[in-house]
């Protein structure tokens, strides 16, 4: 008897339909599986047979052949267990022939006891189901949240194989999960707030400008001055996520297996802070066996924070170039070739020198001049080229630390950021860019005209700092954002002067 059930596979961040065909006959008992299964899928025979047995289903042993179609797509992991079990059970007539499986998809790993374990990529698979016209999706209980985001499918959180059988035979119908609607209130709910950060007025102002213009930032300061504390709060002042952004970010995290149980949508911008020992493959994605998303994609629509920037291997920082330029990254490995989205804001932090205290008022730097230069040389030039804002984050004095006054909360800063972004969006309506940081020389010429007074400020900065032509563009981009924040159409000398102050490295070190 030939039976069919739908399961799903995962290719990068896209789910695809897998048709599980089961041919069961009464000839010599046996089990065979074809259709490019990996080791985990091959092992599903053991899990499926034991789960069926422990669910109390015995009876005649059959000869079972399973075909996973399409045959040319590699099937990975254990998510097909449930679909395979259901196809077999219909072959065994435990699930009656009359029960139509053609509008249902089954996702989940089976344990020996028959309970259903969570798997990665359920959101992506449920989207594939919907796009394929499948009406009902049976998923592990822990993954029901993410699946319930998908419009147009009924999601059944399924605790065990026994529950699936009871439902399909009509003995005990399960309750579907409630459809999860995107709620804008969730996009502005943050555990960390700028109100908690004392002092650091200049650094906070720099992050406000960075958020408003989408500029990448480098923070330079001694250990313990609060660089990561500031960076972690950046998502709280960025524009709230839209539904398509939330969905895309969640798809990446779901496919990578990083959604915590029960999560439905990631509604706040992600903050990723990989350690400096990570490999280039972990940064941009890939891997020898499975092709999975890297840190640049996990930070998609959010912030990628690189603490102790000079400590990162050069090949890792250089690998950021393509994803930063294109907003997506293509990884090629033995397993194939895939593209992942990677639009993020980069925030990097570093000590001013090897010992950490160059230029510090509180502690003496013990580095030799040559060592300071070598330390800074470790930063990749092409990466530095993509950073518009550089700021110093000095250690706070006792007076600043003991001040009682509360700082400006993130919600207030976010309003200013939103107002500036609105101005930029309106300006770029015909330009195919969305923020000031994305302006190329062409747009800079068009939108960053400055008057004579401002030009004088810029020229004297140039002469005294020995700024490069690229530095010039960066100052103008930031000056444009500062003007937008103050609601000014023209860029005047104050805007330029403030923008120049965010070129710490040019000014102080080179």
CB 189, min distance to Zn ion, A: 41
Q: Starting at the edge strand that comes first in sequence, how are the strands of the sheet with 136-139 ordered?
A: 30-34, 63-69, 14-25, 2-11, 104-106, 136-139, 154-157
| Residue of 87, 126, 296, 355 that binds Zn ion (CB under 5 A) | 355
> What H or E segment, with its residue span, contains residue 247?
helix 243-255
Please report whether residue 376 would count as binding Zn ion according to CB under 5 A: no
* Segment interacting with Zn ion, rule: CB under 5 A, options 154-162, 180-188, 350-358, 472-480: 350-358
* CB-nearer residue toward Zn ion: 36 or 367: 367
* CB-nearer residue toward Zn ion: 147 or 350: 350
Q: 454-481: b or e for each residue (b if 16 or more CB lie within 10 Å)?
A: beebbeebbeebebeeebebbbbbbbbb
Is the distance from CB of 339 to CB of 330 less than 8 angstroms? yes
Distance between CA 3 and CA 21 in Å, rounded? Answer: 6
Please report whether residue 374 would count as binding Zn ion according to CB under 5 A: no
CB 218, min distance to Zn ion, A: 18
Which residues, 6 or more positions from 171, have their beta carbon under 8 angstroms from its beta carbon?
165
* CB-nearer residue toward Zn ion: 355 or 376: 355
* CB-nearer residue toward Zn ion: 114 or 221: 221
* CB-nearer residue toward Zn ion: 292 or 351: 351
| Residue of 367, 384, 412, 497 that binds Zn ion (CB under 5 A) | 367
| Residue of 365, 384, 465, 493 that binds Zn ion (CB under 5 A) | 365
CB 369, min distance to Zn ion, A: 10
CB 363, min distance to Zn ion, A: 9
Place of tokens 């401002």: 454
* CB-nearer residue toward Zn ion: 97 or 363: 363
* Segment interacting with Zn ion, rule: CB under 5 A, options 122-130, 165-173, 320-328, 360-368: 360-368
Distance between CA 157 and CA 169 in Å, rounded? Answer: 17
* CB-nearer residue toward Zn ion: 365 or 465: 365
* CB-nearer residue toward Zn ion: 289 or 377: 377
Q: Residue 237's closest CA among 197, 295, 280, 273?
A: 197
> What H or E segment, with its residue span, contains residue 243?
helix 243-255
Residues 392, 397, 399, 401: what is their CA dihedral angle, to the nearest 10 degrees?
80
Please report whether residue 106 would count as binding Zn ion according to CB under 5 A: no
Could you give the string, one character per residue 301-340, with x where binding to Zn ion holds by CB under 5 A and - elsewhere? ----------------------------------------
CB 202, min distance to Zn ion, A: 22
User: Binders of Zn ion: how many residues, by CB under 5 A?
Assistant: 5
Provide the CB-side half-sphere exposure for 488 (13 A, CA): 16
CB 7, min distance to Zn ion, A: 58
Q: Which residues pair with 136 in a beta bridge?
A: 104, 154
Please report whether residue 6 would count as binding Zn ion according to CB under 5 A: no
CB 110, min distance to Zn ion, A: 58
Please report whether residue 36 would count as binding Zn ion according to CB under 5 A: no
* Count of Cβ atoms closer than 10 Å to residue 495 Cβ: 26
> What H or E segment, with its residue span, contains residue 47?
helix 44-54
* CB-nearer residue toward Zn ion: 23 or 374: 374
Backbone angles phi, psi at 450, to 5 degrees: -125, 155
| DSSP code string of 126-188 | HHHHHHTT--EEEE-GGGHHHHTTSTT-EEEE--BHHHHHHHHTTSSPPPPPPPPPP-GGGGG
* CB-nearer residue toward Zn ion: 7 or 356: 356
Please report whether residue 383 would count as binding Zn ion according to CB under 5 A: no
Is the distance from CB of 286 to CB of 322 less than 8 angstroms? no
Please report whether residue 353 would count as binding Zn ion according to CB under 5 A: yes
CB 10, min distance to Zn ion, A: 48
Q: Residue 80's closest CA among 110, 103, 55?
A: 110
Residues that bind Zn ion (CB under 5 A): 353, 355, 358, 365, 367
């Amino acid at each position: 008897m030939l039976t069919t059930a739908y399961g799903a596979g995962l290719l990068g961040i896209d789910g695809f339909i897998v048709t599980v065909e089961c041919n069961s006959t009464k000839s010599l008992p046996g089990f065979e599986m074809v259709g490019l299964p990996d080791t985990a899928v091959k092992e599903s025979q053991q899990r499926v047979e034991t789960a069926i047995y422990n669910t109390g289903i015995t009876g005649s042993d059959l000869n079972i052949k399973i075909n996973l179609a399409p045959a040319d797509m590699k099937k990975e992991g254990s998510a097909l267990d449930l679909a395979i079990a259901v196809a077999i059970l219909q072959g065994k007539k435990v699930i009656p022939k009359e029960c139509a499986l053609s509008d249902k998809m089954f996702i989940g790993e089976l344990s020996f006891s028959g309970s259903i374990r969570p798997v990665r990529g359920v959101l992506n698979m449920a989207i594939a189901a919907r796009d394929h016209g499948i009406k009902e999706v049976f998923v592990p209980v822990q993954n029901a949240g993410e699946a319930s985001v998908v419009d147009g499918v009924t999601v059944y959180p399924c605790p065990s194989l026994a529950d699936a059988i009871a439902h399909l035979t009509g003995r005990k119908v399960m309750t579907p999960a409630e459809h999860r609607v995107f709620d804008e209130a969730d996009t502005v709910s943050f555990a960390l707030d700028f109100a908690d950060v004392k002092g650091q007025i200049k650094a906070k102002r720099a992050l406000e400008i960075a958020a408003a213009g989408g500029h990448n930032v480098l923070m330079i300061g001694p250990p313990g001055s609060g660089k990561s504390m500031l960076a972690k709060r950046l998502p709280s002042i960025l524009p709230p996520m839209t539904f398509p952004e939330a969905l895309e970010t969640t798809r990446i995290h779901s496919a990578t297996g990083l959604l915590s149980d029960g999560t439905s949508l990631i509604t706040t911008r992600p903050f990723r802070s990989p350690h400096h020992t990570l490999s280039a493959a972990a940064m941009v994605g890939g891997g020898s066996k499975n092709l999975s998303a890297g840190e640049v994609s996990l930070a998609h629509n959010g912030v990628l924070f690189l603490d102790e920037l000079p400590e990162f291997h050069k090949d890792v920082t250089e690998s950021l170039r393509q994803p930063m330029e294109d907003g997506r990254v293509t990884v090629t490995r033995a397993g194939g070739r895939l593209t992942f989205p990677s639009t993020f804001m980069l925030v990097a932090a570093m000590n001013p020198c090897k010992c950490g205290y160059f230029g510090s008022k509180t502690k003496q730097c013990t580095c030799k001049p040559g060592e300071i230069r070598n330390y800074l040389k470790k930063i990749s030039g092409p990466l530095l080229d993509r950073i518009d804002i550089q700021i110093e984050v000095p250690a706070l004095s006792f007076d600043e630390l003991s001040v009682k006054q509360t700082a400006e909360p993130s919600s207030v800063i976010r309003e200013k950021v939103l107002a500036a972004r609105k101005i930029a969006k309106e300006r770029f309506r015909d330009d195919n860019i969305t923020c000031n940081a994305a302006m190329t020389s062409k747009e800079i010429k068009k939108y960053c005209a400055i008057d004579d007074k401002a030009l004088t400020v810029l020229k004297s900065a140039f002469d005294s700092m020995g700024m490069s032509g690229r530095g010039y563009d960066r100052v103008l981009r930031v000056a444009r954002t500062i003007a937008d924040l103050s609601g000014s159409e023209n860029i005047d000398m104050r805007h330029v002067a403030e923008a120049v102050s965010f070129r710490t490295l040019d000014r102080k070190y080179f």
